[in-house]
Amino acid sequence: MIEFRTVTKKFPDGTVAVDELSLVLPARQTTVLVGSSGSGKTTILRMINRMVEKTSGDIEIDGEDIHALNPVKLRRSIGYVMQNSGLLPHRKVIDNVTTVPVLNGVKKAEAREAALTLLDTVGLDRSLAERYPSQLSGGQQQRVGVARGLAADPNILLMDEPFGAVDPIVRSELQQELIRIQRDLGKTIVFVTHDIDEAFLLGDQVVLLEKGGRIAQQGTPAEILSKPASDFVATFIGADRGRRALRVEVVNGRNVVVDEDGRPTGVLQS
Amino acid sequence: MNWVINNLGLIWSLTLDHVALAVPPIILGFIISIPIGWVANRFHASRGVLLTISGLLYTVPSLPLFIALPAILGTGILDPINVVVGLTIYAVALMVRSVADALAAVDAGVRQAATAMGYSAWQRFWRVEFPLAGPVLLAGLRVVSVSTVSLVSIGSVIGVSSLGYLFLNGLQRNIIEEVASGIVATLLIAVVFDLLLVLAGRVLLPWAKADPTAKRAWRKTVETAIAGASAGGSVVDDPAVSDPSMAGR
Ligand SMILES: Nc1ncnc2c1ncn2[C@@H]1O[C@H](COP(=O)(O)OP(=O)(O)O)[C@@H](O)[C@H]1O
Ligand SMILES: [Mg+2]
């Protein structure tokens, strides 16, 4: 469990990126932070592994104040996946994946063995292991990024718009892959996105943020959809435009679900 | 050709002297430039000052420098150390800028990823930033190598043995072959050094071949470095201003 208690981050230039945030992220669940660009998502995420130091407030992981810990050690115990993969261009795929275990002192051969298994887990062919990142497609690079984030078997996985830069088809594949991996591994995932559909798809809990990291609404996707807390939320999730107002039409004796424009989106199972 | 054939022994021994004088400044210049370039890149305020100073150093005329160094260092007037120190100064003058640019060109996202994975600052520099700066560093080193090999000859004027002797002696005695052999041998050394550096790059930076961004950065820096060297190293503008790829750094 990760807990923020009235956490504020003020950058040296005076920008208050996060303003008195209080938030609990339950263990072994996926919490999605969603909000427009500049709402403070990355800052919140990076305060968890102390890449960004909070200005005030408390952040605890499983009841332990993270500011009592060595930041380098803390980071090695938390997986991190970012947009554009952030892979080290001068190291082969396999060496990228073994980075954190090797930093933790695991023997190289042992780490490589485990890394090959991880490539299977994220759906990558083992033959890619000896390639350099620039020799992979964007989607493959993101898979390597996920494998690297999981390599030290961390309890917590931080993901900052990890699928933001790939095309929609690949993104959808990666999302399904993540859902499957999470079902198997049960990590505490903090996932950042500006895409509300992605948030509803992946999140057990969704936290909708306004500027300054202020929480506009927090809950399960169903709770937020069924009862937007404000006009801001309604606009953000598209409910105001009726985008999510589906209705049922009977076609050929079957209940077909159509959206606001009358486009069929599925069939209602009786 | 007669003169050359009759003096092969002399040409060879002068070539060895020349190489022995050129190698230490290239290596020392590289090593000394790393911390200076790091500071120039790390602390924004220091960048302009350090790059201007190093640029100005390159404009100090070599002959007066070689003559002044014995007085400053307390070495003998004929001591080869004077030449090595002088050439190291020029190497640093050229290389500091390359180091600063090379480090600045390392992708911010990669640096952040390295931090996020739990590299300490020291590990991150040596295992991530420095290797990734490799292609641009190598480009700078190639310019330093050519510059140093050609400058070694000046040492002959103050009596430190190098291929420059053939040039001076040949002019005095009006032996055009002697002058030409000095020039050709110097060129050959420069070419061989350059090939060795390129080869070292191939071995040490195998990833750069596969990486289009690294290739681009490399080509660009060779161009600016050569422009800088040919302008007497007086190009000290801030690349963050003139180079759009560094905007938003
Ligand atoms: N290092 C920084 N210095 C100053 N301001 C920053 C810095 N990083 C982020 N900010 C500002 O903080 C706010 C939140 O940024 P960020 O957390 O990156 O938002 P998001 O990830 O939601 O797009 C923005 O206004 C941004 O400009
Ligand atoms: Mg962000």
DSSP A15-26: -EEEEEEEEEE-
Residue B174 touches partner A, C-beta closer than 8 Å: no
Q: Are A66 and A7 in contact (CB under 8 A)?
A: no
Q: Which residues of chain B make contact with A135, given a CB cutoff of 8 A? A: 210
User: Does residue A185 sit in the same domain as residue A238?
Assistant: yes
Q: Which long-range contacts (CB under 8 A, 24 or more apart) does A7-12 make?
A: A7/A47, A7/A54, A7/A56, A7/A57, A7/A58, A7/A59, A8/A54, A8/A55, A8/A56, A8/A57, A9/A40, A9/A43, A9/A47, A9/A52, A9/A54, A9/A55, A9/A213, A10/A55
Residue type, A192: V
pLDDT of residue B88: 96
pLDDT of residue B116: 97
Domain count for chain A, please give it. Answer: 2
> Are B116 and A80 inside 8 Å of each other by CB?
yes
At residue A53, φ and ψ (nearest 5 deg) are -90, 130
Range of the domain at A150: 2-243
This complex has an ipTM of 0.89
pLDDT of residue A19: 97
Does the beta carbon of A269 lie inside 6 Å of ligand 1? Answer: no
Distance from CA of A260 to the nearest CA of B (A): 41
Partner residue facing A134 (CB), from B113, B115, B211: B211
Q: What is the pLDDT of residues A190-218, one digit of tens each?
A: 999 999 999 999 999 999 999 999 999 99
Which of A42, A90, A98, A134 to mutate against chain B (most B CBs within 10 Å)?
Answer: A90
User: Does residue A173 sit in the same domain as residue A134?
Assistant: yes
User: Does residue A32 sit in the same domain as residue A157?
Assistant: yes
DSSP, res B155:
G
> Are A75 and B115 inside 8 Å of each other by CB?
yes
C-alpha B54: how far from its chain's center?
12
Nearest chain A residue to B116 by CA: give it.
A75
Residues 6+ apart with CB under 8 A from A23: A3, A4, A44, A207, A215, A218
CB atoms within 10 A of CB B249: 11
Does the beta carbon of A11 lie inside 6 Å of ligand 1? Answer: yes
For A201, half-sphere exposure in the C-beta direction (CA atoms, 13 angstrom radius) is 17
Partner residue facing A89 (CB), from B115, B119, B211: B211
Partner residue facing B112 (CB), from A51, A91, A100: A51
User: Does residue A260 sit in the same domain as residue A224?
Assistant: no
CATH of the domain at A128: 3.40.50.300
pLDDT of residue A183: 96
- Which of A7, A8, A11, A192 is the best mutation target for the ligand 1 pocket, counting ligand atoms within 8 Å of the beta carbon and taking the most? A11
Distance from CA of B217 to the nearest CA of A (A): 14
pLDDT of residue A153: 95
Does the beta carbon of A43 lie inside 6 Å of ligand 1? Answer: yes
Q: Are B47 and B41 in contact (CB under 8 A)?
A: yes
Q: Are A83 and A36 in contact (CB under 8 A)?
A: no
Q: What are the strands, taking DSSP E only, across chain A?
A: 2-10, 16-25, 30-34, 56-61, 64-65, 78-82, 156-160, 188-193, 205-210, 214-219, 247-251, 254-258, 264-267
pLDDT of residue B249: 31
Partner residue facing A99 (CB), from B107, B117, B132: B117
* Overall average pLDDT of the A219-237 stretch: 93
Beta partners for residue A156, in sequence order: A78, A188
Q: Which domains does chain B have, with CATH numbers?
A: 2-243 (1.10.3720.10)
Residues 6+ apart with CB under 8 A from B38: B99, B100, B103, B125
User: Does residue A111 sit in the same domain as residue A239?
Assistant: yes
- For atom 11 of ligand 1, the residue with the nearest CA is A17
CA dihedral over A49, A50, A55, A61, signed as positive or negative: positive
Give helix then strand counts, H and E, for chain A. 10, 13
CA nearest A44: which of A160, A154, A204?
A: A160
Mean pLDDT rounded to a whole number for chain A: 94
Question: What is the mean pLDDT of each successive set of 10 residues along chain B, which is 249 residues long?
Answer: 90 96 98 96 91 89 88 89 94 95 94 97 97 96 96 91 94 94 96 97 90 65 56 36 34
At residue A168, φ and ψ (nearest 5 deg) are -55, -35
User: Does residue A67 sit in the same domain as residue A176?
Assistant: yes
What is the spatial distance between Cα B149 and Cα A154, in angstroms, rounded to a whole number? 53
User: Does residue A75 sit in the same domain as residue A119?
Assistant: yes
* Overall average pLDDT of the A227-245 stretch: 82
For B76, half-sphere exposure in the C-beta direction (CA atoms, 13 angstrom radius) is 5
Does the beta carbon of A120 lie inside 6 Å of ligand 1? Answer: no
CB atoms within 10 A of CB A117: 10
Does the beta carbon of A208 lie inside 6 Å of ligand 1? Answer: no
For A4, half-sphere exposure in the C-beta direction (CA atoms, 13 angstrom radius) is 27
Q: What is the CA angle B201-B205-B206, rounded to 5?
A: 110
What is the spatial distance between Cα B178 and Cα B15, in angstroms, rounded to a whole number? 13
User: Does residue A110 sit in the same domain as residue A238?
Assistant: yes
pLDDT of residue A270: 65
Residue type, A112: R
Per DSSP, the three-state class of A219 is: strand
User: Does residue A207 sit in the same domain as residue A265?
Assistant: no
Q: What is the CA angle A193-A195-A196, rounded to 5?
A: 110
User: Does residue A29 sit in the same domain as residue A159?
Assistant: yes
Q: What is the pLDDT of residues A152-183, one digit of tens each?
A: 999 999 999 999 989 999 999 999 999 999 99
Distance from CA of B115 to the nearest CA of A (A): 7
CA of A110 to the centre of ligand 2 (A): 35
Q: Which residues of chain A make contact with B112, given a CB cutoff of 8 A? A: 51, 82, 86
> Are A82 and B113 inside 8 Å of each other by CB?
yes
Residue B109 touches partner A, C-beta closer than 8 Å: yes
pLDDT of residue B219: 65
| Ligand 1, atom nearest to A35 Cα | 22
**N residues, chain B:** 249
Q: Are A4 and A57 in contact (CB under 8 A)?
A: yes
Q: Which residues of chain A make contact with B119, given a CB cutoff of 8 A? A: 72, 103
> Are A103 and B123 inside 8 Å of each other by CB?
yes
CA nearest A134: which of A184, A178, A164, A93?
A: A93
| Ligand 1, atom nearest to A18 Cα | 14
> Are A80 and B113 inside 8 Å of each other by CB?
yes
pLDDT of residue B243: 35
pLDDT of residue A84: 83
CA of A37 to the centre of ligand 2 (A): 6
User: Does residue A85 sit in the same domain as residue A205?
Assistant: yes
Nearest chain B residue to A72 by CA: give it.
B118
When pLDDT is cut at 50, 70 and 90, the band that residue A249 belongs to is confident
pLDDT of residue B11: 95
User: Does residue A36 sit in the same domain as residue A108?
Assistant: yes
